[in-house]
Chains A and B, each alone.
Chain A
Amino acid sequence: MLLTACLIAVPVLVIVASLFQGFSPVWQHLLETVLQDYVVNSLLLMLGVGVGTLVLGVSAAWLTAMCEFPGRKLFNWALLLPMAMPAYIIAYTYTGMLDFSGPVQSALRAQFGWGHGDYYFPEIRSLGGAICMLSLVLYPYVYLLVRVAFSEQSTAVLEASRSLGKGPWKTLFLVGLPMARPAIVAGISLALMETLADFGTVDYFGVSVFTTGIFRTWYGLGELQTAAQLAAFLLLFVFVLFTLEQYSRRRLRFHHNSAQQKPSRIELQGWRGWCACALPLVIVTAGFALPAVQLATWASSRVGETDTAEFLTLVGSSFTLAAIASVCCLVIALLLGYGKRLHPGQLEHQAARVSSMGYAIPGTVIAVGVLIPFAWMDNRVDALMREHFDISTGLLLSGTLVALVFAYVVRFLAVSLQTVESGLARIRPSIDESARSLGKGPLQVLHRIHLPMLRGSLATALLLVFVDVLKELPTTLILRPFNFNTLAVRTYELASDERLADAALPALAIVLIGLLPVILMTRISSAATPYSSVRTQSQEGRP
């Protein structure tokens, strides 16, 4: 387990190692001019997206998991749809709609006879706009994880709270939310890491954040090492943040203590029901339906010009890659998560933490972290073989799909690991102990007990990584083999050339393929009876 973690941590360590290679004079320039801007804007962006995803994700999860209202079953999975929308694509579509020259403002001007500067309209291409865009596509991380947590929470605890005279709101804030804390934290940290790694949206909106700074330093100033150092500082920051969070809940336990019980939902009837229905409706419309319609409009003008066979190849390669990578991530996440459970030592804990840091780093930087050790190893093997056998092996792994899938694991392990861990945290250790005392080995416990109980979390982990890989761009771009394309690569190339209408079709395809696992997963989770049981939060060491 440690070995695996170390292997996956290599690219991250390559980046951190840049800190020990001396600082170039460019640092002086950065400190004097732009660094402060980068830091402040990044923090504001994180704060905004953190609050945004928290509010959207938790309220949606609470409604669909705990309440009964018209359309609940539909929203249950429809709320996942925005996840399939790459952030930079939603940014493009909203800019198309809300920009000064877009249809909305043009209609306003035509209606009221206004001109430029006669009225106030929020500027979409701004920090606030970036926060909205990222929140709209990233809240599903929070929603998915928290909904699983809520639906596994027992009604008994909640009913106890209600019977003690607390209303539904107080119950939510005093019982529901605190018990779902690991899931909320896991979801938000995923959203925030993705925010820190995002380049497309902030670049298009002209917001200077840390990521844009990294690329400016690398591309503009030609300072790869300084760029890697900036990325390393970003990593340290994220690491400290998560360590603090872990520390603050070190004494808390979140697993359940009593047996299965079917959850009963709060019935919302009449106008309450429709109000409850309105919230997810707005979220799904804003995060998915509107941009999807805009994409479809753009795409419809181009359908005839598309080479179908080539397009299907793109779909096939994207799907295959995403499937392989999500399974790899899941297996490794299980290995690490379960290993941590078996040997809850500091070393195992930190190993798992470090190996999942890749999620907060922009994909291109991770790609460099993968490229360097792979190419180094290949070249060493080649040199050895030439020396002893006079054979040139060339590059064995660099430039193959193996390197690419490895990079995906490095980048997205956090997603599956967080999901698996927050699932494992809800299984009482006494279950393991009873099974072990009945003579079952650790693998049997995993197979016979944990896997069935974790079914929901595992499906979630698979889905999240699958969709992430489908959308993934920078790593794919730089590590892929010759003549190998994915939908995301195609979308990006066209969009970066400002050919949005041409980019719309592959973008729409990403969204549609992203739907497949969402639908599949809904079937799995509805087929499996949820292991709902009473969970109390016990604080160790309390008198």
Chain B
Amino acid sequence: MRFSRPALRRFASALFVTVAAVMIGAPATYAKTVNVYSARQEALIKPILDTFTEETGIEVNLITGDDDALLTRLRSEGRNSPADVLLTVDAGRLYRAKEAGLLQPIRSEYLEQHIPAHLRNSEGYWFGLSVRARVIAYATDRVDPETLSTYEALTDEKWRGRLCVRSSGNIYNQSLVAGMLSTQGEAATEDWIKGLVANFARPPQGGDRDQIKALATGQCDLALVNTYYYGAMLQSADADEKAAAGEVALFFPNQDGRGTHINVSGAGVTTSATNVAEATALIEFLARPEAQNWYAETNNEYPASKGIEPSALLKSWGSFKADSVDVTELGRLNAQAVMAMDRANWK
């Protein structure tokens, strides 16, 4: 590889321009902007933000990252933080952000009317925007759905060595346990975790898709998974994934009782926000039918806004009764849930 001098010089100047542009920041082409810190990853938020910009003329600047890391950044940046909106994929982190004084309450008639009370903060600090259900997936050739009923019943001896779940480090498992703590109390929850661990087919590993694959290959018969992973596998371009999902079906537990466990992804306006009006407009936009349907179509999530139908695929799994426990509780009890799982040796 030999480079001629002019070519090298051109390359160097191109690099310099790139660096300079990034360091100084590209010139703003929009009069109004809103800055977003998002724990929802780029592929699952950027397209709808682009639509927002097209429709309103408000430019959106975006950083994505892990929830707690973004919270730490927000906190250390303090009142000078450029962030206007915080987007998370878990109610627990919104709760944490509010407790740390990082969010401010906003009034929005639209949001108050359309987002159900148990999916938002009562004082307007944050609003749930999409719903994720954690359900039981089962291998259709080995499990009769008649034998399934509740999360609690998964500890039954007949499931010994037949259950697959990912690690307790995963937030969805933590919030499932937090939900349990909130409704069943500490002692019952710990017994439940112990029973669950006793029924594990293998040490917790992999992600939700891996649990579904394990069902298809016969390593286990039941698994706890989030619905949208199953949906993504059904629609996957990978033939093996699609085939694996084809051998699995979903069961919504606790329909006769408290309902299936759900968590939300949501958003709030930061304390340091300088573009409060734009931030509010963005959150309202994300709760409108267009965005709500987009969540459902691209990531198989259930809409949070009232009166919006889930996508055709979601509907085909049947409607379900969701746990109406205030999702704030999930945040408040998260640490307690992790400790309970530590004690019960859920790896």
Contact surface of A with B, Cβ cutoff 8 Å: 26, 29, 32-34, 95, 99-101, 106, 115-116, 125, 203-206, 208, 212, 215-216, 218-224, 301-302, 316-317, 320, 323-324, 364, 367-368, 371-372, 375-376, 378-379, 382, 392, 394-395, 398-402, 474, 477-485, 489-490, 493-494, 496-499, 501-502, 519-520, 523
Contacts and interface: CB of A to CB of B under 8 A. Distances in A.
Given A219-B68, A317-B22, A320-B19, A100 B335 contact: no
Given A208-B347, A477-B69, A395 B80 contact: yes
Contacts of A317: 18, 22
Contact of B169 (A106, A220, A482, A493): A220
7 contacts: A116-B218, A203-B167, A395-B80, A478-B65, A479-B73, A481-B63, A484-B22
A221 B15 contact: no
Contact of B342 (A29, A367, A523): A29
Contacts of A364: 66, 69
Nearest to A492: B41
A203 B73 CA distance: 23
Contacts of B22: 317, 401, 481, 484
A501 B19 CA distance: 31
Contacts of B316: none
B69 A478 contact: yes
Contacts of B167: 203, 206
A220 B18 contact: no
Given A222-B96, A482-B82, A398 B65 contact: no
B77 A399 contact: yes
Nearest to A116: B218
A379 B80 contact: yes
A326 to B, nearest CB: 13
Contacts of B64: 477, 489, 493
B151 interface: no
Nearest to B244: A101
B66 A478 contact: yes
Given A204-B206, A220-B338, A222-B335, A301 B76 contact: no
B342 A215 contact: no
Given A317-B22, A483-B62, A498-B229, A493 B43 contact: yes
A372 B76 contact: yes
A371 B347 contact: no
B174 A220 contact: yes
B339 A496 contact: no
B207 A395 contact: no
Given A208-B347, A371-B76, 16 more contacts: A26-B335, A95-B206, A101-B219, A106-B217, A220-B174, A222-B334, A368-B72, A376-B76, A378-B77, A379-B80, A395-B77, A477-B65, A481-B63, A482-B35, A494-B43, A498-B232
B237 A215 contact: no
A514 B238 CA distance: 28
Contacts of B203: 206
A398 B343 contact: no
A519 B1 contact: yes
Interface residues of B, number: 64
Contact of B171 (A101, A206, A219, A479): A219
Contacts of A502: 43
Nearest to A520: B1
A216 B338 contact: yes
B124 to A, nearest CB: 23
A203 B169 contact: yes
Which of B166, B169, B171 has the most chain A CB atoms closer than 10 A to its own CB?
B169
A209 B73 CA distance: 25
A417 B335 CA distance: 40
Q: 7 closest pairs, A vs B, by CB?
A: A206-B205, A482-B61, A220-B338, A375-B76, A493-B41, A33-B342, A101-B217
Interface string B217-234: 111000000000100100
Contacts of B335: 26, 220-223
Contacts of A498: 207-210, 229, 232
B67 interface: yes
Nearest to B228: A497
A218 B206 CA distance: 21
B80 A493 contact: no
Nearest to B342: A33
Contacts of B244: 101
B237 A501 contact: yes
A99 B15 CA distance: 43
B156 interface: no
B95 to A, nearest CB: 10
B2 to A, nearest CB: 10
Contacts of B15: 320, 323
A529 to B, nearest CB: 20
Contact of B19 (A324, A368, A392): A324
A274 B68 CA distance: 53
A209 B333 CA distance: 24
Contacts of B73: 371, 478-479
B34 to A, nearest CB: 11
Contacts of A99: 210, 213
Contacts of B217: 100-101, 106, 116
Contact of B78 (A100, A320, A367, A375): A375
Contacts of A483: 61-63
A493 B42 contact: yes
A260 B209 CA distance: 59
A114 B203 CA distance: 22
A206 B347 contact: yes
Contact of A402 (B23, B35, B207): B23
